[in-house]
C-alpha cells in the first residue's frame, strides 16, 4: 500500500472514530436529560396542588425542553451519519409529555 493510501486510510478511520464518538456523546446527553425529566415528573406527581406544584411544573418544562433539544441533537447526528430511520430512538427515548399531558388525570 502506498504511503498516500495509508495516510488516507488512517484519516478516514480517525474521522469514523470521531463520528462515532460524537454520536455517543449525543446519546449520553440525551440519556442524562431524560433521567432529569423523569426525576422532575416524579416530583410533580408527588406534589400537592398549589404554588409548589406550579414551580415544579416550570422546572419540569425546562427539563423537558432540554431533553427535546438533546433528542433533536441526537437525531441530527444520526442523520449526518446516514441513519435516516429513528424508530430505535423513538422507542428508547420517547418524547416526554408536556406538563398538561403529565398532569392529566
**pLDDT tens-digit profile of 31-87?**
999 999 999 999 988 888 777 888 898 999 999 999 999 999 999 999 988 999 999
How far is residue 98's CA from residue 61's CA, in Å, rounded to a whole number? 7
Residue 105: the pLDDT is 47
Nearest to 78 by CA among 31, 4, 10, 24: 24
Residue 102: the pLDDT is 76
Q: Is pTM, for the whole model, over 0.85?
A: no
Domain boundaries, the chain: 3-103
Residue 45: the pLDDT is 86
82 conformational bin, left if phi > 0, alpha if psi -120 to 50, beta if neither? left
| Higher pLDDT, residue 10 or 54 | 10
Amino acid at each position: 500500500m502506498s504511503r498516500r493510501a495509508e495516510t488516507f486510510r488512517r484519516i478516514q478511520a480517525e474521522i469514523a472514530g470521531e463520528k462515532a464518538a460524537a454520536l455517543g456523546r449525543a446519546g449520553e446527553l440525551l440519556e442524562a436529560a431524560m433521567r432529569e425529566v423523569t426525576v422532575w415528573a416524579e416530583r410533580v406527581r408527588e406534589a400537592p396542588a398549589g404554588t409548589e406544584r406550579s414551580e415544579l411544573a416550570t422546572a419540569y418544562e425546562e427539563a423537558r425542553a432540554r431533553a427535546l433539544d438533546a433528542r433533536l441533537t441526537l437525531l441530527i447526528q444520526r442523520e449526518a451519519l446516514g441513519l435516516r430511520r429513528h424508530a430505535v430512538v423513538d422507542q428508547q427515548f420517547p418524547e416526554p409529555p408536556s406538563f398538561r399531558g403529565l398532569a392529566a388525570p
